[in-house]
Structure 1
Amino acid sequence: MTESANNPFNEYVGKHPGEPNVLEPALITDPFTGYGELREQGPVVRGRFVDDTPVWFITRFDEARVVLRDHRFANNPAFAQETADGENPRSRLMDMMGLPERYRVYLDGSILTMDAPDHTRLRRLVSRAFTARKITDLRPRVEDIADDLLSRLPEHAEDGVVDLITHFAYPLPITVICELVGIPEADRPQWRAWSSQLASLGPDRLKNSFPAMIDYIHELIRERRAALTDDLLSELIRTHDDDGSRLSDVEMVTLVVTLVIAGHETTAHLITNGAAALLTHPDQLRLLKADSGLLPRAVHELMRWCGPVHLTQLRYATEDTELAGVRIAKGEAVMPILVSANHDPRHYADPARLDITRHPAGRAEDHVGFGHGMHYCLGASLARQEGEVAFGKLLAHYPAVSLAVEPEELRRIPLPGNWRLSELPIRLG
């Protein structure tokens, strides 16, 4: 585990026999097997979150989709539970991660932690930037960025080897989302550094990076308000200034932070995981090289087979309910396990097999890699497009691309709920 010696959550691992913690090594190093074993115990299995919160793991595809779309399971714990003293159930977690008190309103005010009607209101404000037409119109720019990055890969190679994460998988989506939102080019490396710090479980995970992001957006809003442009940040400023009841100051700031982080972190690792998968499955790579029309289907299968996000946020039952024969009491936490659902043999034939032809063209999405229901990933269409462009352009520029190490030498970042390579060394051919 990153910064494991100082990880404040380690004390909870193994504390409750029979109730696995998401920090269990078996669930981090091989989540496909680890969560797969839990899935075979049942569709609803008792476990623990990192801070020792009891949680029901939802392990199978059908039940995961039920929870993800069921309004009886809320993202905001205030709709379901409070401790005896009225404290937010997230407070202890924020304490353990070092988040200063005055910044907690921004974490609690995120669109990710909201439910209707506030979630609906905020999603409507930004969804115009992610319509099908907007994403289609954006594609030439995404392709230009990809072409530029790929053409410069040889400049970064040492002995013919280059890290695809550093020089392509990260720069592509962070450039796209920052241009869309309105983050100046000179500041984008800092956002990657902040995001990397968040991707840890160290004792000060939120102490420095999250407040720095919040302060930065406040300052950028002040600057941009004096010279509005056509980016998403300017649109949000206009909305806020026209009618503060539609978008508060805190909501505007957290929206921007959420969009920038979510808009590049997960896509970067979708590209990385997907490239590694294709390079270690030559039969699938040959199929894609022979028919670029398979790209949309390939991205769906890669999101299912090796998607970067394995766990959802905690959700809370707003009333006593029953799921798959298990009673879930009001206030109890549940967590759909995406990696387990996406490999459920009850839903997929031979789920461990990578098959880029698995998802029929034109059919509804048949995986939960981007979630499901009200909190379905807002930027899913952009992420899919970036994946299509990334894989298509990589193979067009370097048709002989190959891994520069043996597959077993690839190293993962040991972060619960995430599937991330620390680097992806490739030979361009």
Structure 2
Amino acid sequence: MCASCTTDLRQLSTDFVRNPYPVYAKLRARGPVHHVRPPDGPEVYLVVGYEACRAALTDPRLSRDWRKSGDVSRIANTSPDDPSLAHMALSDPPDHTRLRRLVAREFTTRRIEALAPRVQEITDTLLDEMTANGARKADLVAAVAFPLAMTVICELLGVPELDRESFRRWSNEILAPTGREAEATAYTEQAEYLPRLIGAKRADPGEDLLSALIHTVDEDGDRLSPDELIGMCSLLLIAGHETTVNLIGNGMRALFAHPDQLDLLRADPSLAGNAVEEILRYDGPVESAQERLALEDIEMGGMLIPAGATVRIVLAAADRDAARFDDPDRFDIRRDTRGHIAFGHGLHHCLGAPMGRLEGRIAIRTLLERCPGITADTDMTDLDWVPGMLLRGVRELPVRW
């Protein structure tokens, strides 16, 4: 394999953002690792094979702590000492181990499943509002997917309702920036808001997760520092809703595009849990894991990744690898999906995976129960896609029923 060659993804497909899967299939056929020029960013090394992705996600030579690079601007248009970066997703062991331990107890499957009645209540309320005017048309993202995900995570953390639209705007720019200036503004405004929110919770704690994190002390007497509280709050608020929004949107798009599977799920709602797993595998909400920094020269899949290089591990490509899943481009809600890595793998496996699964299962099942004739109300090729290679989803999803 040519270690000095660079593949321009735009030359492989003019439709890469909408449908990157044919490009990933071409790359996988050549090898599991490639040096590429993405459509909207600097050159990176892409890992696209299933086994290579699993190995890369657990390779300690690929770091998430960009402070080691001396150039945080490669992943975020903010200052290196911005406290919103002081969280476990941007750290390596032992810091990551410590930070995750301090919050993991709040995200056990049992605790998340206890939220099911409230998630159902929120979903029902949103569908009441969506169907109330008799128009039988709506934008599914604005009417259900976003408000459900944002309400759940904000209620969990204790964020006032009036501040939630601001978080959506900041989140959009931080995860899928429309420009450098807009991204910088989002970081600045978030950095001004979060200390005020934490200060209010410290002075008047409630039953919410943020109040608990402020006062949590583990068995060794450890607790989150002020900067770590800001970082953890930022991480949970942003990651806690963006992925769920796209899980619901991508799931409904996949069902609309495969009417036989939609009919199957309508006929048997008990398949909702497995349908969510197949949605995650087939077209999950996170296209690639967040950028890794190569701490040393690494030989991987016949490619030499030089020290200091940026590496993207493409979860979407791994979960369409025929070496792991039979007929991977076929959407089948009865498939055995075990082993998919839509939520990552290893120590950075998504802490909120149980929450995403719960919300996706309830939202999709309830949509089909309340609006059994629901279908797309637009040409699917005309949708406005979230930019970049981190998130996979659409800004709007017009539907009718």
Give TM-score scaled by structure 2 length: 0.91
Q: Does 1:375 align with 2:348?
A: yes
User: Which secondary structure state, in structure 2, belongs to the residue aligned with residue 205 of structure 1?
Assistant: helix
Q: Does 1:246 align with 2:228?
A: no
1:314/1:334 contact within 8 Å kept: yes
User: Which secondary structure state, in structure 2, belongs to the residue aligned with residue 120 of structure 1?
Assistant: helix
Cα deviation, 1:12-50, whole Å, max 9, x if unaligned, reads xxxx97333689854323211122222222111112468
Cα deviation, 1:263-300, whole Å, max 9, x if unaligned, reads 11110011011111112211101111121221111101
Over 3 Å counting, the alpha-carbon distance change for 1:411 and 1:321 in structure 2 is closer
2:150/2:241 contact within 8 Å kept: yes
Over 3 Å counting, the alpha-carbon distance change for 1:92 and 1:309 in structure 2 is closer
Match of 2:73 in 1: 91
Match of 1:195 in 2: 171
1:175 positional shift: 0.6
User: Which secondary structure state, in structure 1, belongs to the residue aligned with residue 304 of structure 2?
Assistant: strand
User: Which secondary structure state, in structure 1, belongs to the residue aligned with residue 357 of structure 2?
Assistant: helix
Cα deviation, 1:295-345, whole Å, max 9, x if unaligned, reads 111101101111121121221333444322333344333221111111111
Match of 1:384 in 2: 357
User: Which secondary structure state, in structure 2, belongs to the residue aligned with residue 206 of structure 1?
Assistant: helix
Equivalenced residue count is 396
Cα distance in 1 for residues equivalent to 2:311 and 2:245: 28
Cα distance in 1 for residues equivalent to 2:107 and 2:48: 30
Over 3 Å counting, the alpha-carbon distance change for 1:40 and 1:161 in structure 2 is same
Cα distance in 2 for residues equivalent to 1:93 and 1:323: 23
Q: Does 1:19 align with 2:7?
A: yes
Of 415, 418, 425, the match for 2:388: 415
User: Which secondary structure state, in structure 1, belongs to the residue aligned with residue 46 of structure 2?
Assistant: strand
Cα distance in 2 for residues equivalent to 1:131 and 1:71: 26
Cα distance in 2 for residues equivalent to 1:152 and 1:17: 54
Of 24, 42, 46, the match for 2:31: 42
Over 3 Å counting, the alpha-carbon distance change for 1:27 and 1:106 in structure 2 is farther
Cα distance in 2 for residues equivalent to 1:314 and 1:60: 17
Cα distance in 1 for residues equivalent to 2:315 and 2:300: 17
1:352 positional shift: 0.9
1:44/1:326 contact within 8 Å kept: yes
* Consecutive unaligned residues in structure 2, runs of 5 or more: none
2:10/2:38 contact within 8 Å kept: yes
Cα distance in 1 for residues equivalent to 2:95 and 2:383: 42
Match of 2:89 in 1: 112
Match of 1:149 in 2: 126
Cα distance in 2 for residues equivalent to 1:52 and 1:44: 18
Cα deviation, 1:182-212, whole Å, max 9, x if unaligned, reads 1112221221222233332312132211221
2:86/2:230 contact within 8 Å kept: no
Cα distance in 2 for residues equivalent to 1:237 and 1:341: 38
Structure 2 letter corresponding to 1:219:
R
Match of 1:179 in 2: 155
1:29/1:414 contact within 8 Å kept: no
1:174 positional shift: 0.7
Cα distance in 2 for residues equivalent to 1:78 and 1:160: 51
1:343/1:351 contact within 8 Å kept: yes
User: Which secondary structure state, in structure 1, belongs to the residue aligned with residue 312 of structure 2?
Assistant: strand
* Consecutive unaligned residues in structure 1, runs of 5 or more: 1-15, 83-87
- Bigger mean CA deviation after superposition, 109-118 or 309-318: 309-318
Of 177, 184, 191, the match for 1:207: 184
1:22/1:416 contact within 8 Å kept: no
Match of 2:17 in 1: 28
In the TM superposition, 1:282-297 aligns within 5 A as: 282-297=259-274
Over 3 Å counting, the alpha-carbon distance change for 1:186 and 1:52 in structure 2 is closer
Of 47, 50, 69, the match for 2:58: 69
1:231 positional shift: 1.0
Cα deviation, 1:375-419, whole Å, max 9, x if unaligned, reads 011101110110000111111111121222243343423433332
Q: Does 1:314 align with 2:291?
A: yes
Give TM-score scaled by structure 1 length: 0.85
Identity within the alignment, %: 39
User: Which secondary structure state, in structure 1, belongs to the residue aligned with residue 224 of structure 2?
Assistant: coil
- Bigger mean CA deviation after superposition, 45-54 or 192-201: 45-54
User: Which secondary structure state, in structure 2, belongs to the residue aligned with residue 344 of structure 1?
Assistant: coil
1:242 positional shift: 11
Cα distance in 2 for residues equivalent to 1:212 and 1:156: 36
Of 295, 306, 322, the match for 1:345: 322
2:84/2:227 contact within 8 Å kept: no
Structure 2 letter corresponding to 1:186:
L
User: Which secondary structure state, in structure 1, belongs to the residue aligned with residue 180 of structure 2?
Assistant: coil
Cα deviation, 1:231-269, whole Å, max 9, x if unaligned, reads 111112113799995311111101001101111111001
Match of 1:13 in 2: none
- Bigger mean CA deviation after superposition, 231-240 or 60-69: 231-240
Cα distance in 2 for residues equivalent to 1:254 and 1:112: 10
Match of 2:303 in 1: 326
